[in-house]
Each structure stands twice: as C-alpha cells, then as structure tokens.
Amino acid sequence: MFSKLKTRLRHSRTFNRWWATRYGNFEDRLLAGVIPRPNYAYCVYHGARLAKRLGYTRMSAIEFGVAGGNGLLCLEQHAAIVSELTQVEIEVYGFDTGEGLPSPVDYRDLPYHWKSGFYKMDVTALQSRLQRAKLVLGEVSVTLPSFFETHRPAPIGAISFDLDFYSSTKSAMNVLRGGHEFLMPRIFCYFDDTIGTETEVYNDFTGQRLAINEFNDEHDAMKLGFPYCLLNGRVQDTWRYQIWVAHLFAHPDYNRFVSGEIQELPVLAPGR
C-alpha cells in the first residue's frame, strides 16, 4: 500500500510539472519548479509581493557573482515579468570583478575546490545583452561601500550570493548594513554554495555557511533564517534549501501588518 501511495504521489508531481509547463502562468510554473532558475524567480517574486504589501513602488534585486552573465540575464527576465504582475518597478544590479575569482585568502575559501581565474566575464559581450541590469565591477569589498551613495538603489528585496568564497561572501553581506531607506525589512536571499557534492563537502565552518553563521553571531537586530514555509512546496527541489530570509528587526517597516485582513474561521453548523 505504501509503494502505491508513493507511485501516486510521484505521478501527481509529474502531472503538476507537465501541466504548469504547458498551461501554467508564472506563479504556476514557479510553484511546480518548472521555470528557469526558480531560486531567482522565488526571491524576486516574493520580494516584490512584500514590497507591494508595504506600499513600495520600487524594489532592487542584486546578484553577487555574475560570472558569464547567464544568471543576471535570467534575473532581468524574471524582474520584467514580476514587475508587470505586481506593478512594482524592479531595478537589477550585478556585482563581479569581471576578472574571474581572485586567489583564495585561506582555508575558509576552500582552495581545494576553487582556483583564481575561474568564471572570467566577457564584459563587452554581456553589456550588449543586458536590458535593465547595471554591472558594478571590481572587488566587492571596494565597490560595495560606495554603492548606496553612487546608485541610490530602490529598497533591496532579493539577493543572490554566488561569490563562492567565504571572504567575498562576508564582504558582500555588508549590503545588509545599508541604511533602512535602501533595504526592505525582510529580504529574500539565495546562497549558491551551501550544499554541493562530496568534492566540496560544504560545512558550517568554511565557505558561505560560515559567513552566514558569523553574520548571525555578530548582529542582534538582523538575522538570516531558513523560511520554513518552503517545506510546504509540492516539489522539494534542492534550491529550496539554499534560501535564507534576512530579517531586519529594527527596520521601521518590520512590524507593519502585511497579512490578510479577515482571518477568522466561520463557526460550523452542528453536525458538520
């Protein structure tokens, strides 16, 4: 009986994916996990939905670690669709050295897996294809401190951290220290290098996971946490376990009500 139940569940998931691919809208495809880079789509979509509920008309989405640029191009496409769905204008920024990975600083950057020069960008080719995204080129530790003053971005609601190293990720996470006018009270974040394989053997003491843990240890009014709502998904793809949400407890809009106005349950008639 248990094996039959598993078979029915598997067939149901297969049907849901097929239906969403052929007939579904953006939300259907995202829910079924049949959309390009669903991790990007999830963060942008739910960041924009929160922005809408807070009354924001603009939002920013950031990719740290652009490499060849396929992810940034996909982020642009998702931003355009989500902007139309939510009527929230979405700015897109991509941070990268343009020269590939720098040299690892120490063991925390996993030099047994990463080498300097990996993922070099063809800046001219990528720039010619970008529609709305702005490239911020240079070491993130150098470019990020002046980012807010230079670009005056809309409040950030979605971030992809894909800089591979502990040291670079640690620097990039300083984006969450920006002024509240540049940040949403809850920010949907994706950390690419947190699961991997038996080659990387990511753990809590090196790489991106160490950067996340140290961030939480160092801040009382800001925390990165796993959104347990993702356990409700019909499709449990790996990317769902690479999402964290940054909670900015001291943000002036953190406690603003964004849920449904009517939540009372009706009293059922006798016998029902």
- Report the pLDDT value the prediction gives residue 12, as an integer from 0 to 100: 54
Domain CATH code at residue 236: 3.40.50.150
| Maximal C-alpha separation, the chain | 71
**Residue 59 belongs to a domain:** yes
Chain centre distance of CA 174? 16
Chain centre distance of CA 229? 15
For residue 125, give its domain range.
35-248
Please name which of 100, 93, 72, 173 lies closest in space to residue 135, comparing C-alpha atoms.
93
**Residue 60 belongs to a domain:** yes
- Token pair 């880079």: residue: 37
For residue 137, the SS3 value is: strand
- Which tens digits make up the pLDDT trace of 132-169? 999 999 999 999 999 999 999 999 999 999 999 999 99
Average pLDDT, the chain: 90
Q: Which amino acid is at 91?
A: E
**Residue 125 belongs to a domain:** yes
| Count of beta carbons in the 10 Å neighbourhood of residue 26 | 16
**Is the separation of the CB atoms in 69 and 37 below 8 Å?**
no
For residue 237, the SS3 value is: coil
CA distances from 80 to 88, 90, 133, 152, 249 (A): 10, 7, 11, 20, 29
Q: Which amino acid is at 3?
A: S
* Distance between CA atoms of residues 143 and 150, nearest Å: 10
**Residue 182 belongs to a domain:** yes
Please name which of 202, 197, 198, 142 lies closest in space to residue 174, comparing C-alpha atoms.
142
Q: Is the pLDDT of residue 23 over 70?
A: no
Q: Into how many domains does the chain fold?
A: 1
**Residue 258 belongs to a domain:** no
**Residue 8 belongs to a domain:** no
- Report the pLDDT value the prediction gives residue 18, as an integer from 0 to 100: 52
Residues in the chain, overall count: 272
- Tell which phi-psi region holds residue 67, choosing left (phi > 0), alpha (psi between -120 and 50) or beta: left
- Which tens digits make up the pLDDT trace of 247-272? 999 999 999 999 987 777 677 767 66
Instruction: Give percent above pLDDT 70 in the chain.
Output: 89
**Residue 99 belongs to a domain:** yes
* Distance between CA atoms of residues 109 and 167, nearest Å: 6
For residue 243, the SS3 value is: strand
Q: Is the pLDDT of residue 10 over 60?
A: no
**Residue 26 belongs to a domain:** no
